[in-house]
Amino acid sequence: MDDYFKSWIVKLETVAKTENASPARLINWLLKGHGIETDVRLLDAKTLTRNQQTQIESGLVRLQACEPISKILEAQEFYGRIFKTTHDTLDPRMDSEALIEATLSYFTKDDAPRLLDLGTGTGCLLITLLLELPHAVGIAVDICPKALSIAKENAEHHGVTDRMQFCLSDWCSNVTGTFDGIISNPPYITDGYPLDPSVALYDPAQALFAGKDGLDAYRILFNQLPPLCNPTTKIIFEIGFDQAKSVPALGVEKGFHLVHSKPDANGISRALIFEKLDSNV
Ligand SMILES: C[S@@+](CC[C@H](N)C(=O)[O-])C[C@H]1O[C@@H](n2cnc3c(N)ncnc32)[C@H](O)[C@@H]1O
């Protein structure tokens, strides 16, 4: 292997553990992201153009500083599709695929549900649902204008803009109408929780933290949701690993009952499905 890349393989050992991939694999992703398909083990750095050398060197320095490869390449896979992600958006997480599975257990491809995605970020949840449910329509809400513009880019890329609206709003304050499915992966980490640098330094704080107990966003949402619900509305929330009891307890206080919960790939209860209590009367 070329000496230049050999030295980077050594420098990236620690980072590679966090990313759960070998240093060579990380470098290969970086190369591929810049249009170089060759395996690093076969590549002579001197054959790269000056521009390519600058881009790769900059990417390697960023990798060494624990920046996730997804942020460097501005791309992350979710439910088998690629979404643009930046420092203004939370990187789509595999755990959140439980929300997709949960929602798809209530609607079929022939249904035309009206969906609402609160805290859309990259738009990965709503865009995926619109792609899986070809007659569905939906509104993507975020408080961050830059996140909404990334969601728009992703919607255009995936060809769903004709069925998707974008709403700059502090949770539901600018949202009207009723919805068949309300999906949200709100911030749910307790303030001050010691996160891995790859998250703490590179994902936006407003996508992560939700007060002293991590429940602030759920409190607000349960308060604001009743006028947006019809008698059969399903509310599908992502929760933190230790919130499977506390979030339903908040829901009951506001008239929402837990109808189902769906685990993530690690078997941790991740998606909770609620209905409005009086909707069954
Ligand atoms: C955990 S991220 C989820 C992003 C995306 N839905 C996903 O699952 O990958 C939470 C999102 O909520 C947004 N957010 C935070 N506070 C908000 C508020 N008060 N009103 C609307 N959106 C908010 C953040 O900007 C962020 O995009």
Q: What is the pLDDT of residues 51-64, one digit of tens each?
A: 999 999 999 999 99
CB of 85 closer than 6 angstroms to any ligand 1 atom:
no
Which residues, in sequence order, are CB contacts of 35 under 8 Å at separation 6+?
Answer: none
The CATH architecture annotation of domain 79-280 reads: 3-Layer(aba) Sandwich (3.40)
Q: How far is CA 202 from CA 59, 88, 198, in A?
A: 14, 9, 6
Kindly tell me if the per-residue pLDDT of 280 is higher than 70. Answer: no
Q: What's the confidence (pLDDT) of residue 281?
A: 42
Nearest CA to ligand 1 atom 14: 119
Give percent of the chain with pLDDT exceeding 70.
Answer: 99
CB of 90 closer than 6 angstroms to any ligand 1 atom:
yes
Kindly tell me if the per-residue pLDDT of 279 is higher than 60. Answer: no
Q: 65-118: per-residue pLDDT in tens?
A: 989 999 999 999 999 999 999 999 999 999 999 999 999 999 999 999 999 999
Which atom of ligand 1 is found nearest the CA of 96? Answer: 8
* Contact status, residue 140 vs residue 149, Cβ threshold 8 Å: no
CA distance 173 to 152: 20
Which residues, in sequence order, are CB contacts of 58 under 8 Å at separation 6+?
Answer: none
What is the 281 CA–ligand 1 centroid distance (Å)?
33
Q: What's the confidence (pLDDT) of residue 130?
A: 98
CA distance 40 to 30: 10
Quote the pTM value: 0.94
CA distance 18 to 38: 24
DSSP string, 184-247: E----BPTT----HHHHTTS-GGGTB-STTS-HHHHHHHHH-GGGEEEEEEEEEE--TT-TTHH
CB of 19 closer than 6 angstroms to any ligand 1 atom:
no
Q: For the chain, what are the domain ranges?
A: 3-73, 79-280
Which atom of ligand 1 is found nearest the CA of 238? Answer: 8
Which residues, in sequence order, are CB contacts of 18 under 8 Å at separation 6+?
Answer: 66, 196, 198
Query: Within 10 A of 11 (CB to CB), how many other CB atoms are there?
Result: 13
Q: Tokens at residue 136, please?
A: 């569905």
Q: What's the confidence (pLDDT) of residue 16?
A: 82
Which atom of ligand 1 is found nearest the CA of 78? Answer: 9
Give percent of the chain with pLDDT exceeding 90.
Answer: 92
Place of tokens 């996140």: 147
Query: If you ran DSSP here, which 8-state letter would residue 82 be given?
Result: E
Name the residue of 70, 82, 90, 97 whose CB sits within 8 Å of the most ligand 1 atoms, as the mutation to test its pocket. Answer: 90
What is the 236 CA–ligand 1 centroid distance (Å)?
14
User: Residues for the chain: how many in total?
Assistant: 281
Q: Is 145 helix (H, G, I), strand (E, B) or coil?
A: helix
Q: 243-266: per-residue pLDDT in tens?
A: 999 999 999 999 999 999 999 999
CB of 170 closer than 6 angstroms to any ligand 1 atom:
yes
Residue 275 pairs in a beta bridge with 257
Q: How far is CA 227 from CA 176, 177, 211, 230, 276, in A?
A: 8, 8, 25, 8, 10
What is the 121 CA–ligand 1 centroid distance (Å)?
6
What is the 116 CA–ligand 1 centroid distance (Å)?
13
CB of 206 closer than 6 angstroms to any ligand 1 atom:
yes
Nearest CA to ligand 1 atom 9: 92
CB of 220 closer than 6 angstroms to any ligand 1 atom:
no
